[in-house]
Chain A
Amino acid sequence: MSRELINLIVQATGESLFMVSVAALVATVLGLPLGIFLATSRKGELFAAPPANGILGVIVNAARSTPFIILVVAIIPFTRLIAGTSIGSGAAIVPLTIAATPFIARLVEAAIREVDAGLIETASSFGASPLQIVFKVLIPEALPGLVLALTLAVVSLLGYSAMVGAVGGGGLGDLGIRYGYQRFMPEMMLAVVVVLIALVQTVQTAGDYLARRVNRRLRNR
């Protein structure tokens, strides 16, 4: 493989990592509170607001049921509003974030719901405020689950990022389609797939390790 092609792969890997990491960061900032709210706002819960819970649930489900490639195209005006352009890796971050936020919110909701309700009652019994319960009980106790949830979200984002080539987003997926498929360069396709596999393996391994490190429920670490 020529030096030129290797440079292309390096550049595309950089684009993918840039898009995925920024999108993952922003989606976590938005999805974490959203997920915590979803997990604690049903009837009788910490921030009980059943109507808000219901409406947000519907929105989250709607966003999650839209196929990503359609989402990318459908929100182009919004992307232009936010990023100033609808083309390029920077612009691709917008649909990636919008797709990942409800996904992360649902994963966070599931992780938070795993926390024993007895612990919430215990903290309430010694006068903890709802926010203190979130920061001192729910998040620390759900941490292993949250780490695995974010790992899963990053892996999914790597997959999504392959599709943003459709709007000139660049990245590994785009490279694989344009060179590997359209220019009949199977070695390029193979190289892209190998890099993606390596990235996913790295992210998953790191996530698993971190989740194990923060899990105090296990006796022999």
Chain B
Amino acid sequence: MNVHQSLTTAQPVAPLPSISLASGASDAMIRFEGVSKVYPAYRDKPSVHALQAIDFAIARGSITGVIGRSGAGKSSLVRLINGLEKPSSGRVVVDGREISALAGRELRLAQRSIGMIFQHFNLLSSRTAADNIALPLEIAGWSRADIAVRVEELLALVGIADKYDRYPSELSGGQKQRIGIARALATRPNVLLSDEATSALDPQTTRAILDLLANINRELGVTIVLITHEMSVVRQLAKEVAVIDGGHVVERGHVADIFTHPRHAVTQAFLSEVIGDSVPVSLASRISLQPVAGGKAVLRVQVRGTEAGDTVVARLSRELSHDVALLSARIDEIGGQHVGSLILGIPGGEAAAGQALAYLSQHDILVERLGYVA
């Protein structure tokens, strides 16, 4: 059916603006400089260009989402930050240190100031909650007494003080991730990497974990990098976002800007996950492409930003002197901005429809004609 095709038409992709997320090099916590990552051919598998020409910076103290489809290169990107992988070319600088140039003991020391949490929690089944949190401290050579004090602080910080002697098999997913977060923060890192940390959790638990991460960012000033394929995670937590696709950063900036004015098709696809760009089935089946006598023209109006959406139906009705019908609407909030789409029915024939299109275009409101209904 043609209606759906017309709905997914993207605007042409504009070149990326030359701004970086961090305003200057000095307050960047993480910088990628011309980074590419190639996995060489192995047996019958061809070589894979996981990341290509990555150049961007993540500001100190920020919460940055890195969103992309699976296989887009997100996992490689995050593993370059903590030195689990080395770039094939380019530099990765974390807190002023070129982590991509470190190896052995120097790298291990640097890794202690970068915490990481995982989708499947990766807790040791043989250790209790407290002992799991203690592991990075043992590895860093802390004394038993110091470890005991620190673990108690961390258990309280993540809100599971009563579970200190439980094994992971006795805990829920949310509790396990809280232990994962406490463990990642144990050595007081200034960067926390989250690799799909909420993807295995239910929506309610996800919300609680994201709230916890927001608190940690606020109170400890830890820079957080969220790798995710879920728009809802970026929307709830991140202030900055980088959209990654096919090994390239295709779009980046403030969450509100990127998602109110998406340029790349992937960004639009992620956006439509939240705002539901598709037309409700019952409505779609009634839309015809030929004008219907005495019917209404169907327009889809994009709501981007607070001012445009709130009053559009009222303003249009006044302008046309006809009552505009609201056939379907979905509006959500991203970074404090309203984002969504309205499907309107315009009575009054071709003349009124043309007038409505002209009025909306004049006011910089994105609109497209979907067809007609009786």
Interface residues of A (CB under 8 A from B): 116, 118-119, 121-129, 132, 136-137, 140-141, 143, 214, 216-219
Closest chain-B Cβ to A138's Cβ sits at a distance in Å of: 10
Interface residues of B (CB under 8 A from A): 82, 84, 105, 107-112, 114-116, 118, 120, 122, 124-127, 135-136, 138-140, 167-170, 183-184, 186-187
A217 touches B125 (CB 8 A): yes
B112 touches A122 (CB 8 A): no
Subset of 28 A-B contacts with CB under 8 Å:
A116-B122, A121-B84, A122-B116, A122-B118, A123-B135, A123-B139, A125-B82, A125-B84, A125-B111, A126-B112, A126-B115, A126-B116, A126-B184, A126-B187, A127-B107, A127-B109, A127-B111, A127-B140, A128-B136, A129-B105, A136-B138, A140-B126, A140-B127, A141-B126, A216-B127, A216-B167, A216-B168, A217-B169
A214 touches B126 (CB 8 A): yes
Closest chain-B Cβ to A107's Cβ sits at a distance in Å of: 19
B111 touches A126 (CB 8 A): yes
B139 touches A136 (CB 8 A): yes
In the complex, what residues of A have CB within 8 A of residue B127's CB? 140, 216
B136 touches A140 (CB 8 A): no
A-B residue pair count with CB separations less than 8 angstroms: 71
In the complex, what residues of A have CB within 8 A of residue B184's CB? 126
Could you say which of B116, B124, B136, B140 contacts A141, with CB atoms under 8 Å apart?
B124
In the complex, what residues of B have CB within 8 A of residue A116's CB? 122
- Beyond A140-B127, A216-B125, A217-B125, whether A127 also contacts B116 by CB under 8 A is no
A141 touches B135 (CB 8 A): no
Kindly report which residue of chain B lies nearest to residue A116, judged by CB atoms: B122
Closest chain-A Cβ to B95's Cβ sits at a distance in Å of: 15
A127 touches B135 (CB 8 A): no
In the complex, what residues of B have CB within 8 A of residue A140's CB? 124, 126-127
In the complex, what residues of B have CB within 8 A of residue A217's CB? 125, 169
* A116 to B168 CA separation, bound complex (whole angstroms): 15
Could you say which of A119, A132, A216 contacts B122, with CB atoms under 8 Å apart?
A119
* A112 to B115 CA separation, bound complex (whole angstroms): 26
Q: Which 5 A-B pairs have the closest CB atoms?
A: A127-B111, A127-B108, A126-B136, A122-B122, A140-B126
Closest chain-B Cβ to A137's Cβ sits at a distance in Å of: 7
In the complex, what residues of B have CB within 8 A of residue A132's CB? 139
A125 touches B126 (CB 8 A): no
Closest chain-A Cβ to B184's Cβ sits at a distance in Å of: 8
* A140 to B125 CA separation, bound complex (whole angstroms): 9
Closest chain-B Cβ to A192's Cβ sits at a distance in Å of: 40
* A214 to B114 CA separation, bound complex (whole angstroms): 32
* A218 to B169 CA separation, bound complex (whole angstroms): 7
B118 touches A216 (CB 8 A): no
B187 touches A141 (CB 8 A): no
